[in-house]
């Protein structure tokens, strides 16, 4: 699903968080929103999904203007923290969120078993969330976001706290989803994750300072390290000072 | 909506301690109240002025009796000596002077009545005077219904308010709203899920109070249960609404005195028509007023459905208004 963000502004109280953001995200790509903490990544995601209103500008997803409730059934959202019910088991959490998406029970059961296998949680599906480790919660949270096979997947820092073996597995699966036509939007502040993505935009202090394919972005840097992009921008010093 | 109801029940099933607190803590408090307010075997102190010997002997079976020959001034005498009642006769009537309406006075009156019963009813009329007259005729013994209402309301309010606050801060609310579910379904599921738990609690409380603690109910127990369930549902809605104004768990706890204590004022503890400046009319804003008034009518006055329906309707309307308020307030988290 193609996402078009047009001149979006957002301020909380006095602080301008997003300034004139315009961005197009193409169908069937893994798009990475890169930025330091506090740069407005999560705010942008929330606006895109219609959780919070933008001050002005517009967002359309697949040609439909946000906010739209039906659009939410095409989206899978994984928030930054786990957002799972501690008192419920892994399976019950999945079942609850699939119920909100109105999935059929038989379809849910088949899908859920397959999903848990991918995130390597099949063995402990009856474990309560409060007994799970941080990494396990992250994986379950990802499974919850995927349960209704969304066409657009929005992942807020999906691989923080996940070990390297599983991280590779998750990326492989995300790429497989992309090949099936799913659009995936990922935010991260870990630069090494970016290389897994197709396109990337760099967000700093509410501005998009670069947006291109990851390949091109890396070619722009002197040493192939995408982190350099944050230092190449001559505005950086002034804006840090203003904060 | 059904998914939310199922989820809430599932959460409770896996959180045995919360469930236990919800169901058994009210019983514990009620039991304590029962013993505090109940039959304490208090022997009232009664002074008799020049009464016949038969009366005095019989009265001694029920109270500590001090016999005097000359009638003292009631107010000073009762207060100075810690006596509960003063009995004297004039040519036609028997007078009983009491200090104020309290459980001690009630015990003294009961002792005198027992004595009269044993001695065959006297021809004399009993004239009861209170030194400090208070309006209303509630005696603490008959306030059981208030505690039934308040305790159940309190626990349910905390349960639903807390879970809503936790849901907001765990961001599960946001995640829930990032699905096509409508806001009406969210609030409906919430109200129904916690309402069912609260209803279960109401049934447990009322059964325990009536059959365990032998609380006197003049009217129908089933009707009492219905009133309690309605009150529980309004407590769920109040809890959810208040949680929106609380930024964390601490603030929700701070809201308890703000929300709960005024409810107690209007629950029937203070007669509403004696509250000055028309502040008594505020009772219509407290859900507990409808519940407790209906409970009083059933439990004390033995009234039936045909007489209490306006208060039931009041409860239902209140729940409806809170429901809408919650649906609108949820807009804060998702615009649609």
Judge if B27 and B54 occupy the same domain: no
**H or E element in which residue B260 lies:** helix B249-264
Residue with tokens 């009545």: B113
Residue with tokens 């004039």: B90
- Whether the pLDDT of residue B35 is over 90: the answer is no
- Residue contact A83–B2, C-beta within 8 A: no
**Among A72, A89, A128, beta carbon nearest to B179:** A72
- Domain stops at, among B130, B147, B165: B130
This model of the complex carries an ipTM of: 0.85
pLDDT, residue B39, reads 60
What backbone torsions phi and psi does residue A190 show, to the nearest 5 degrees?
-90, 110
Residue A40 banded pLDDT, cuts 50, 70, 90: confident
Search chain A and give the residue with CA nearest B168.
A83
- Domain stops at, among B130, B148, B163: B130
* Cα dihedral A39/A41/A43/A44 (nearest 10): 120
- Residue contact A87–B6, C-beta within 8 A: no
Judge if B22 and B82 occupy the same domain: no
Residue ranges with strand state E in B52-98: 64-68, 85-89, 94-98
pLDDT digits (tens, 9 = 90+) for A129-171: 999 888 888 889 989 999 988 999 999 888 777 788 888 888 8
**Chain B residues with beta carbon closer than 8 angstroms to that of A50:** 334-336
Judge if B114 and B216 occupy the same domain: no
pLDDT (average), residues B85-89: 83
Residue A184 banded pLDDT, cuts 50, 70, 90: very high
- CA–CA gap between residue B270 and residue B278 (Å, rounded): 14
Provide the token pair at A47. 């606006």
- Residue contact B336–A50, C-beta within 8 A: yes
**Chain A residues with beta carbon closer than 8 angstroms to that of B169:** none
Chain A nearest C-alpha distance from B227 (Å): 31
- CA–CA gap between residue B169 and residue B275 (Å, rounded): 40
- Residue contact A88–B3, C-beta within 8 A: no
Judge if B112 and B72 occupy the same domain: yes
Whether the CB of A69 is below 8 Å from some CB of chain B: the reply is yes
In order of A123, A173, A212, the CA distances from A118 in angstroms are: 11, 8, 30
Interface of B with A (CB under 8 A): 2-4, 6-7, 10-12, 14-15, 170-172, 174-182, 333-336
pLDDT digits (tens, 9 = 90+) for B179-215: 888 889 999 999 999 999 999 999 998 888 888 887 7
The DSSP 8-state label assigned to residue A104 in this structure reads -
Whether the CB of A51 is below 8 Å from some CB of chain B: the reply is yes
Search chain A and give the residue with CA nearest B163.
A85
- Domain stops at, among B130, B162, B177: B130
pLDDT digits (tens, 9 = 90+) for B36-52: 776 666 778 888 887 77
Strand partners, A186: A32, A155
CATH code for the domain defined by A3-83+152-242: 3.40.50.300
Judge if B63 and B143 occupy the same domain: no
Cβ A91 vs Cβ A126: under 8 Å: yes
Whether the CB of A89 is below 8 Å from some CB of chain B: the reply is yes
pLDDT (average), residues B75-83: 79
Judge if B226 and B327 occupy the same domain: yes
Search chain A and give the residue with CA nearest B6.
A96
- CA–CA gap between residue B163 and residue B167 (Å, rounded): 6
Domain count, chain B: 2
Cβ B292 vs Cβ B149: under 8 Å: yes
- Whether the pLDDT of residue B139 is over 50: the answer is no
The domain in which residue B208 lies consists of 2-36+139-332
**Among A69, A87, A100, beta carbon nearest to B176:** A100
Judge if B252 and B296 occupy the same domain: yes
Judge if B126 and B162 occupy the same domain: no
Judge if B243 and B147 occupy the same domain: yes
pLDDT, residue B327, reads 92
pLDDT digits (tens, 9 = 90+) for B243-266: 888 888 899 889 888 888 888 888
Whether the CB of A31 is below 8 Å from some CB of chain B: the reply is no
- CA–CA gap between residue B283 and residue B294 (Å, rounded): 13
- Between residues B267 and B200, the one the model is more confident about: B200
- Residue contact B7–A96, C-beta within 8 A: yes
- Between residues B53 and A109, the one the model is more confident about: A109
- CA–CA gap between residue B74 and residue B85 (Å, rounded): 9
- CA–CA gap between residue A79 and residue B186 (Å, rounded): 19
- CA–CA gap between residue B49 and residue A136 (Å, rounded): 83
**H or E element in which residue B204 lies:** helix B183-207
Whether the CB of A86 is below 8 Å from some CB of chain B: the reply is yes
Residue A30 banded pLDDT, cuts 50, 70, 90: very high
- CA–CA gap between residue B28 and residue B36 (Å, rounded): 12
CATH code, domain with B70: 3.40.190
């Amino acid at each position: 699903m193609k996402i078009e963000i047009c001149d979006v502004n957002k301020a909380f109280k006095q602080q301008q968080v997003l300034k004139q953001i315009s961005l197009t995200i193409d169908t069937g790509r893994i798009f990475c929103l890169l930025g330091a903490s506090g740069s407005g990544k999560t705010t942008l995601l929330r606006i895109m999904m219609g959780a919070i209103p933008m001050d002005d500008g517009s967002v359309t997803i697949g040609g439909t203007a946000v906010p739209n409730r039906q659009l939410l059934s095409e989206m899978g959202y994984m928030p930054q923290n786990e957002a799972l019910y501690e008192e419920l088991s892994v399976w019950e959490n999945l079942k609850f969120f699939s119920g909100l998406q109105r999935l059929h029970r038989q379809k849910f059961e088949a899908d859920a078993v397959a999903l848990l296998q991918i995130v390597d949680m099949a063995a402990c599906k009856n474990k309560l969330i409060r007994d799970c480790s941080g990494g396990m919660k992250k994986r379950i949270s990802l499974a919850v976001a995927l349960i209704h096979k969304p066409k657009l997947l929005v992942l807020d820092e999906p691989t923080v706290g996940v070990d390297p073996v599983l991280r590779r597995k998750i990326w492989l699966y995300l790429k497989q989803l992309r090949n099936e036509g799913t659009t995936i939007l990922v935010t991260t502040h870990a630069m090494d994750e970016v290389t897994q993505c197709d396109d990337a935009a760099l967000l700093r202090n509410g501005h998009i300072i670069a947006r291109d394919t990851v390949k091109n972005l890396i070619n722009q840097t002197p040493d192939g390290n995408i982190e350099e992009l944050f230092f190449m921008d001559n505005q950086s010093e002034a804006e840090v000072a203003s904060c | 909506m059904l998914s939310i109801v199922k989820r809430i029940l599932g959460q409770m099933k896996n959180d045995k301690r919360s469930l236990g607190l919800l169901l058994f803590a009210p019983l514990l408090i009620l039991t304590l109240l029962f013993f505090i307010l109940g039959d304490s075997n208090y022997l009232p102190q009664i002074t008799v002025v020049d009464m016949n010997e038969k009366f005095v002997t019989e009265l001694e079976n029920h109270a500590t009796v001090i016999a005097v020959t000359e009638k003292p001034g009631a107010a000073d005498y009762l207060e100075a000596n810690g006596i509960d009642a003063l009995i004297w006769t004039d040519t036609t009537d028997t007078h009983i002077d009491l200090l104020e309406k309290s459980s001690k006075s009630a015990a003294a009156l009961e002792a005198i009545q027992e004595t009269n019963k044993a001695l065959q009813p006297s021809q004399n009329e009993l004239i009861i005077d209170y030194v400090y007259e208070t309006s209303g005729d509630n005696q603490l013994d008959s306030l059981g219904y208030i505690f039934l209402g308040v305790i159940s309301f309190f626990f349910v309010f905390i349960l639903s308010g807390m879970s809503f606050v936790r849901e907001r801060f765990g961001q599960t609310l946001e995640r829930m709203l990032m699905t096509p579910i409508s806001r009406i379904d969210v609030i409906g599921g919430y109200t129904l899920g916690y309402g069912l738990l609260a209803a279960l609690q109401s049934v447990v409380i009322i059964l325990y109070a009536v059959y365990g603690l032998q609380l006197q109910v003049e009217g129908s127990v089933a009707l009492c249960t219905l009133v309690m369930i309605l009150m529980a549902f309004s407590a769920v809605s109040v809890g959810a609404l208040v949680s929106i104004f609380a930024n964390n768990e601490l603030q929700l706890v701070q809201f308890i005195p703000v929300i709960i204590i005024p409810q107690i004022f209007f629950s029937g503890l203070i007669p509403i028509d004696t509250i000055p400046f028309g502040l008594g009319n505020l009772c219509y804003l407290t859900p507990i007023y409808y519940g407790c008034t209906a409970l009083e009518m059933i439990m004390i006055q033995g009234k039936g459905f045909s007489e209490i329906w306006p208060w039931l309707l009041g409860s239902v309307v209140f729940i409806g208004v809170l429901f809408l308020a919650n649906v609108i307030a949820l807009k804060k988290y998702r615009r649609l």
